[in-house]
A and B are shown apart, each in its own frame.
Chain A
Amino acid sequence: MRRLLAMLRNGWVPLMWLLLLLVAVFSMDQFEGFFRQIEPDARAVIYQRSSFAQLLGKHLLIVGAASLVSVIVGVAAGILATRRWGRDFLPLVSQVASIGQTFPPVAVLALAVPLLGFGSLPTIFALVLYGLLPVLRNTLAGLQDVSPTVIEAARGIGMSPLQSLFKVELPLASVVILAGIRTSVTVAIATAAIGSTIGASTLGDPVIAGLVNGNTAYVLQGAILIGLLAVLIDSLFECVQQWFAVRQGRAQ
């Protein structure tokens, strides 16, 4: 009962952000007066080329696709590199992941265009490259943090390697892995906006249009939406992490 209450209490935060986001997406027109004050001379002060709902959907699709790949590849690589027969790859895997992170996202986009053309695909590629490291790093850290005594016990009582992985090691590493996914997704939400520079349709569109036309109101609208989306997703992760911790008896 206490747990349920605690969860409801935590659940209010993402709900509030969700409401704010929906208000921003569907009733941006209501704030025309406010944006007019920022750009008194512009022809239009509310971005019109495409509806905000459409942009949000496409943004989410790109982030979702990229994050899915990041998580699958990152977690899988982290698991493989911590198996007994995969230990030799451990240094290589961590280095490759670190290198991916050192490229600025704009450079990755520029390099991806000649390979993958314009649009969503190179954007997703860049996001994956960028989002992989936090997931992989935390998967490695989480799995390596599991006490050797516990792993020895799992083997000693007769669990198969897969049982040990799925029943013991991954659940124990889950909170840390989840933190990595959270970082990865939150960064992807912000970075996806840059995809608008190479023809992907995202919440970055109003920002880029605003910068090109010198319309600060557009920039602000895009920025507000991206910000709200990022905070919403982040607070959702907060809830899920809390829930995991409670389930494992780490909080009450």
Chain B
Amino acid sequence: MTPTPMIELSHVSRLFDNAVAVDDISLQINSGELCVIVGTSGCGKSTTLRLLNKLISCSSGNIRIDGEDIAGLDAKLLRRRMGYAIQNTGLFPHWSVERNIGVVPTLLGWSPEKIKARVHELLELLSLPYAEFAHKFPSQLSGGQAQRVGVARALAGDPDILLMDEPFGALDPITRDSLQNELLRIQSQINKTIVFVTHDIDEALKLATRIVVMDKGRIVQHDTPANLLDRPVNEFVQSLLGQNERGLKRASLEPVKTHMQALSGDLPEHSVNVDDTLRQAMSLMYWHRTDILCVRDADNHAVGLLPMRALLDSPTA
């Protein structure tokens, strides 16, 4: 038995004044996936996302959420069941952090105690201590903190689905990187179905369980990050992946542990963490001018060896 997909688009199109923004898209996203829609600006990513929560309507085709055709659902109620986080946060500037996060639970009619507990829980989840942040206003937050609050607000009603439209697009690279890691950590705890839009292929490769590549309103390829790198269907996908950088991008999807060899003889001088990626291992080898690294676990115990030759082997399970 195949699981029913959480989100299912069939032959969905959307026109704006006779210009096609989304062109006959069919797509299935399973429960628990982190699906990233990637493509150049104006290719219809945001439009696709906004079709899912009925911020705009389909010109043709239909969308099913959890088996239900959304055409027959009340838009407000549908949206309260889906988290929505956008670039520049869209936080309400006249409300405190606490009230911003509590807005969907309030709309859902939760009791004040339950809302307060939920806000508490989410602020902790996003590494924003309640005592320090709950009563601040959005203008008193840094860009990264504001975006965390935006994500907390999207999660507040405990929705099954989270829609995110370039949520980290306006952040500096370091903050963006840490929020990406945070999103992966949170997703491993809460296991929502996430649809994430970005124009940044590296962000897509890092976050996605599967990637949807869009071009001119159509889906060009829908695949796992590894398959996308190994078998891009056409030149557009190739160029999106970057020609020369492809090897490094592929290496950053591969953990050291799938390539390491058993310990033997003396331990090499330089070490790599077992959970690091091959890309980081290659960088260390180049930096230390060595062709072999010692692999260590989180407790700093040596657990294996990584000679440069092993990088070329196909991974072991």
Contact = CB atoms under 8 A, between A and B. Distances in A.
A169 to B, nearest CB: 10
> Size band of the A side of the interface?
10 to 19
Contact of B96 (A149, A150, A163, A249): A249
Q: Per DSSP, are chain B's interface residues mostly helix, strand or loop, or mixed?
A: mixed
A160 B92 contact: no
Contacts of B88: 149
A91 interface: no
B94 A158 contact: no
A72 interface: no
Contact of B90 (A149, A163, A172, A248): A149
Contact of B55 (A155, A163, A249): A155
A51 to B, nearest CB: 45
B163 to A, nearest CB: 8
A250 B96 CA distance: 11
Interface string A106-143: 00000000000000000000000000000000000000
A156 B84 contact: yes
> Size band of the B side of the interface?
20 to 34
A171 interface: yes
Most buried by B among A155, A158, A168, A172: A158
A158 B76 contact: yes
A160 B78 CA distance: 12
B143 to A, nearest CB: 14
Nearest to B140: A249
Contacts of A147: 90
A149 B80 contact: no
A152 B76 contact: no
Interface string B79-109: 1100010111111111010000001100100
A156 B76 contact: no
The 7 A-B pairs at the shortest CB distance, nearest first, are namely A153-B90, A249-B137, A158-B80, A158-B79, A156-B84, A248-B94, A149-B90
Given A149-B87, A154-B90, 6 more contacts: A150-B92, A156-B55, A156-B79, A158-B104, A159-B103, A172-B93
Interface of A: 147, 149-150, 152-160, 163, 168, 171-172, 248-250
